[in-house]
Amino acid sequence: MGKMTREEDELKFLSEEYKKKPELFRRETFVDSPEFLETIGISYLQDDSLPKGYIKFLPYDFIVEEVSKDNEIQTVDVENFFSKNKPYSSKDPTIYSTVVKCELTTFEAVQRLSSYLNVDKNKIRFAGIKDKDAITSQLKSFRDTDIEKLKSFNSDKIFLKNTYSGKGTVEVGSLLGNRFTIFIRTDNSFNKKQFEKNLTSIKENGFINFFYSQRFGGPRFINWFWGMLILRGEYKNAVFSFLTSEGQREIPYFKKLRQKIKDNLENWDEIEKIIEPFPFALQNEIKVVKYLKKNPQDFVGALKQIPEQIQLWIFAYGSLLFNRKVSEYIRENKELPERLPLILSKDKNDWLPYFDFLTEDGIRSMPQKTLLPLPNVIWKKRFIKTREDVKIYNVKILPEGVAISFFLSKGCYATSFLSQLFQLMTGLPPKEISDKIIDTKEVLGEGSMKDLIEKFKGVVFSKSENIFEKFEKQE
């Protein structure tokens, strides 16, 4: 098999653990019910009669293509490394390339690229964060990078294309939005007329622009809590909760592992041994524990080891407050303001809409002092529209489900839009869900994903497959 990647090595370890106690790897079907959505701040009275729709059965079911400010779509199509339309010159300071990834976070993809290229990850810039459980494409800029080395980059979950050169860099937020091509798998209870009625309503009135579940760090969905603790200045509690708190949708194996960490809390040598076999799944926990092993009481320093995560946690808490406030307006039949600010702004007026929630959460003033020890946290004034429009390109209803392509402005969640058409399902697929590979682009008359499916076939698993048993067979 050759040299294993850390992900493969981890999977091998988990496969052995699965053989010993398969009951600890028990999977469930998860429905984004009103009860679940309330845990991420979406608590208005919802219509639980919406049809159930399973998403992300395969990565090919969820395609995200970035649309740049000049309206250029960064497609997921398999193409040549160099662009046909834009030149490359070694005299230019910046290399631009469309990066297509499969089942990786944006940060994981950047880490793989920076490690191979031997450049600081800050030299690789991108406009926004893309879904992990999907196939996504976006423009990235590279500084201080050797073009031949970039061209020779080879990864099972990433490929680069349409590369050219120029000046400047890709800046955060420098996109119009994203084009989505999605297949939602349905069962026999799907009501076509009801779906079409709801879709027409959204076309006419837009959808409520909630921050959806991926903002809150699945499968645990509690990263907002760590952000809240940081804003309260409770750095130690934030670290301890990050390491030990069970997630809502974690499998029993990892819940038990976090209890084991809790039982050995502050014995950093022992905890390092517990999490060492998981360099991929627990990579951030490993960074924190390695630091605490050398600096046992420096919890601020431990948090500084994962700056991107800290930013996400605080943003997640701000997103939770936004969801709670929008839900409050709806429940009380008040007219929604067109926009609401997010916290993490130095303007105290941006905190006022959330005063009652902040007081309830033990945050009684703007916590600038609590963030001073964490210099990488970005303060930025930002307003979010409470209702957003969606541009529907095409929809087709098949016996297996619904194929749909649409455009959303930057910062909008496709799952938030879809959640107002379906009760979304993830986890172990129900038996009624089709396991057929659907070329959604072909179904919609928008090209084909044939080459893309072939490109990633070696690393793609459907959600109905037991990944540990499949890995053992490959061995």
Is 36 part of a structural domain of the chain?
Answer: yes
Are 46 and 21 contained in the same domain?
no
pLDDT tens across 10-27, in order?
988 999 999 999 999 999
User: Is the distance from CB of 92 to CB of 135 less than 8 angstroms?
Assistant: no
Question: Which tokens is 264 given?
Answer: 């050995």
Q: What is the mean pLDDT of residues 202-209?
A: 95
Is 79 part of a structural domain of the chain?
Answer: yes
Are 216 and 347 contained in the same domain?
yes
Are 130 and 26 contained in the same domain?
no
User: Is the distance from CB of 321 to CB of 225 less than 8 angstroms?
Assistant: no
Q: Is the pLDDT of residue 436 over 60?
A: yes
Are 370 and 454 contained in the same domain?
no
Residue ending a domain, choose from 344, 366, 385: 385
Q: What are phi and psi of 383, to 5 degrees?
A: -115, 145
Let me know the angle formed at the C-alpha of 11 by 306 and 114, rounded to the nearest 5 degrees: 40
What pLDDT sits at residue 139?
Answer: 97
Is 469 part of a structural domain of the chain?
Answer: no
Query: Three-state DSSP class for 145?
Result: coil
Are 280 and 344 contained in the same domain?
yes
Is 467 part of a structural domain of the chain?
Answer: no
DSSP calls for 375-395 = TTPPP---EEESEE--EEEEE
Q: Where are the alpha helices (DSSP H) in 187-251?
A: 192-205, 223-231, 235-244
What pLDDT sits at residue 471?
Answer: 57
Give the separation between CA 78 and CA 409, rounded to whole angstroms: 25
Q: Is the pLDDT of residue 1 over 60?
A: no
User: Is the distance from CB of 318 to CB of 44 less than 8 angstroms?
Assistant: no
Query: What are the CB-based long-range contacts (under 8 Å, 24+) for 9-17?
Result: 9/279, 10/277, 10/278, 10/279, 10/280, 10/281, 11/467, 11/468, 11/471, 12/471, 12/475, 13/277, 13/278, 14/253, 14/468, 15/468, 15/469, 15/471, 15/472, 17/253
Give the separation between CA 417 and CA 37, rounded to whole angstroms: 14
DSSP calls for 331-348 = HTTPPPPSEEE-SS-S-G
Query: Three-state DSSP class for 448?
Result: coil
- C-alpha dihedral sign at 183, 188, 189, 190: positive
Q: Is the pLDDT of residue 453 over 90?
A: yes
Q: Is the pLDDT of residue 46 over 80?
A: no
Are 185 and 263 contained in the same domain?
no
Q: What is the largest CA-CA distance in the chain?
A: 62
What pLDDT sits at residue 468?
Answer: 77
pTM greater than the 0.95 cutoff: no
Q: Who has greater pLDDT, 380 or 260?
A: 260
Q: Is the pLDDT of residue 474 over 70?
A: no
Are 50 and 91 contained in the same domain?
no
Are 241 and 366 contained in the same domain?
yes
Q: What is the mean pLDDT of residues 415-437?
A: 95
Question: Which tokens is 35 given?
Answer: 């009860």
Partner residues linked to 405 by β-bridges: 181, 394
Give the separation between CA 471 and CA 82, rounded to whole angstroms: 35
Query: Three-state DSSP class for 198?
Result: helix
Question: Which tokens is 312 given?
Answer: 């996400």
Are 375 and 255 contained in the same domain?
yes
Range of the domain at 113: 70-173
Are 15 and 50 contained in the same domain?
no
pLDDT tens across 55-100, in order?
999 999 999 999 999 999 999 999 999 999 999 999 999 999 999 9
* Count of domains observed in the chain: 3
User: Is the distance from CB of 145 to CB of 117 less than 8 angstroms?
Assistant: yes
What pLDDT sits at residue 2?
Answer: 34
Q: Is the pLDDT of residue 41 over 60?
A: yes
pLDDT tens across 114-173, in order?
999 999 999 999 999 899 999 999 999 999 999 999 999 999 999 999 999 999 999 988
Is 475 part of a structural domain of the chain?
Answer: no
Are 187 and 149 contained in the same domain?
no
Name the nearest CA neighbour of 416 among 446, 386, 440. 386
Give the separation between CA 327 and CA 334, rounded to whole angstroms: 10
Query: What Cα–Cα distance (Å) separates residue 128 from each residue in 159, 257, 391?
Result: 18, 33, 20
Name the nearest CA neighbour of 101 among 407, 452, 474. 452
pLDDT tens across 229-288, in order?
999 999 999 999 999 999 989 999 999 999 999 999 999 999 999 999 999 899 999 999
Is 104 part of a structural domain of the chain?
Answer: yes
Are 234 and 378 contained in the same domain?
yes
Percent of the chain, pLDDT > 90? 84
DSSP calls for 248-273 = TT--HHHHHHHHHHHHTTT-HHHHHH
What pLDDT sits at residue 372?
Answer: 81
Between strands 135-143 and 62-68, the pairing is: parallel
Is 94 part of a structural domain of the chain?
Answer: yes
User: Is the distance from CB of 81 to CB of 153 less than 8 angstroms?
Assistant: no
What pLDDT sits at residue 3?
Answer: 37
Name the nearest CA neighbour of 222 among 289, 288, 317. 317
Question: Which tokens is 458 given?
Answer: 């070696």
Backbone torsion region of residue 277, taken as left when φ is above 0, otherwise alpha when ψ lies between -120 and 50, otherwise beta: alpha
